[in-house]
Chains A and B, each alone.
Chain A
């Protein structure tokens, strides 16, 4: 079963194809989002098209599928032949899928289920990456704020950290936010006595 993957994120496309390959579905075509889409889909002649829900080219692609109804192997919306739960799960995960008419549900479901899982995994990875990035940024900020406190107040590092944490708890803010405020005020008023 040939599956075409169109995604605005090349990383996510790679993650999906990896998953499909592991499941033994290795007739895959990655469509280049910067090239002419319809020509590439036509050339690939896929039975299933997986595309990210937010892809800005979906209207163009759906139009091509609508016109393709006149062709030998018309492509339909996935929802035409599936159960509403699977479709809802796919939309929630950010996947839309199109399949050629007549392909059996049993053959499609594993593909879509897998794509949904991979999309979710990608979203999780992104969230973790974002968290890691902001944690790193926080740590740098906190280190800077600690240095300022140590210098200005003549205290040691554990005391500076305790001061930051104590203030954050009292004011119900993150330590990173308090640290940022200290750095800002140091930048604006650090030269004052």
Chain B
């Protein structure tokens, strides 16, 4: 049988795991797909290849998919996100000098305590005419929004009290080492690489800021998804199977060996293995700490594209782009996420399928059951560190209450 070819763009990051493993471990083949992977070094190139047909789908930071659909920084292109490649998995890493001023011992900090101390340093640095500078991976990245959410909530005004600049993930550790930035918010393995090189200390993981923050997604042009609907559904099934295998006990070593290869992440295998087993080394030479839910790739319907996640990202986009909230734009952003395609692909399989397409984000304190149309859906604690919850049906009120 001939297989259908599908080309997927990616950046060398641990959360590109599912498309890579779908190719390497035969999940694509099981679905009659020949997955070709195209590696790049900047999100701009991943996006352009997707828009101009060099690739059919891409591993992409979720806000960039939405920004592309809304035409921010580019002419608008209808986009489809039928699958979430993972939640969280990022960290905030401080330079050694900044860590010495703000972090305790070798434990993960508390976002409020670290934030309080950071605020004092930020003030002093503004007075000295050399404001703190943080690197994030893209203007339209969850890293940017998570970092800004945390800073604003502890009384540090992004752009006014600290500078935030863009650095591509593979260069983040080097920029920290060269003193170009005082901190980075980036995905793995680049925080761990900074720690192992002795140029940084992990201050926080983004799961501490939002326990269930949406991270990378599978993005397609809507036109492509509509031109090859069957291939799209098979790709969702292949990625879902890859996700199940990725979290299966005893599979981590094999996954790390594949991901660290030169043609994929080209990164130290040990750093990759630590990230995918939720063990994070915070300081050079220390034993890794176990951080539950550091990366969240499969359980609790983690791959389901909740429209409320897209709505939250849109709320942050208006907040930090300084553009007004527009209901029609919010609806357009939400419609990029396609729970209908996810359900269509996985109906009749063992996958858990939520009944709703949207939920209150950040309102769950303890694991609870939720409505599903297939399987038993359990949702774990998904709180933001400041205790606010996000209601996708009332974004203006949410934005109004934020600092």
Contacts and interface: CB of A to CB of B under 8 A. Distances in A.
Interface of A: 53-60, 62-63, 66, 77, 79-80, 87-88, 91-92, 96
A56 B42 contact: yes
Contact of B139 (A57, A63, A77, A88): A63
B137 interface: yes
Contact of B168 (A56, A66, A79): A56
B73 A57 contact: no
A60 B74 contact: no
B138 interface: yes
Contact of B171 (A54, A56, A92): A56
Interface of chain B, helix or strand or loop or mixed?
loop
A59 B167 CA distance: 7
Contacts of B170: 56
A63 B89 CA distance: 24
B48 A63 contact: no
Nearest to B73: A66
B359 interface: no
A87 B40 CA distance: 19
Given A55-B42, A88-B52, A91-B54, A62 B73 contact: yes
Contacts of A79: 74-75
Given A53-B48, A91-B48, A96-B48, A59 B74 contact: no
For this complex, into which size category does the number of interface residues on chain B fall? 20 to 34
B25 interface: no
B167 A77 contact: no
Contacts of B139: 62-63, 66
Contacts of B48: 53, 91, 96
B150 interface: no
Nearest to B169: A59
Given A53-B48, A66-B139, A59 B42 contact: yes
A72 to B, nearest CB: 19
A185 B74 CA distance: 58
Contacts of B73: 62, 66, 77
A91 B52 contact: yes
9 contacts: A53-B48, A59-B42, A59-B168, A66-B73, A66-B139, A77-B74, A88-B52, A88-B53, A91-B52
A27 B74 CA distance: 27
B113 interface: no
Interface in B35-49: 40-45, 48-49
Contacts of A80: 74-75
A76 B74 CA distance: 8
A49 B75 CA distance: 19
Given A91-B48, A91-B54, A92-B52, A59 B75 contact: no
B222 interface: no
Contact of B40 (A54, A62, A77): A54
A96 to B, nearest CB: 7
A60 B165 CA distance: 8
A66 B166 CA distance: 11
Contacts of A60: 165-168
Given A87-B52, A91-B54, A58 B75 contact: no
Contacts of B49: 91
Which of A57, A58, A88: most chain B CB closer than 10 A? A58
A59 B44 contact: yes
A91 B48 CA distance: 7
Contact of A58 (B44, B54, B165): B44
B166 A59 contact: yes
Nearest to B43: A59
Contacts of A54: 40-41, 45
A78 to B, nearest CB: 10
Query: 10 nearest interchain CB pairs?
Result: A56-B41, A63-B166, A58-B44, A91-B52, A58-B42, A59-B42, A60-B166, A59-B168, A88-B52, A59-B166
Given A63-B165, A63-B166, A66-B139, A58 B45 contact: yes
B401 to A, nearest CB: 28
Contacts of B166: 59-60, 62-63
Interface in B6-62: 40-45, 48-49, 51-54
Nearest to A51: B44
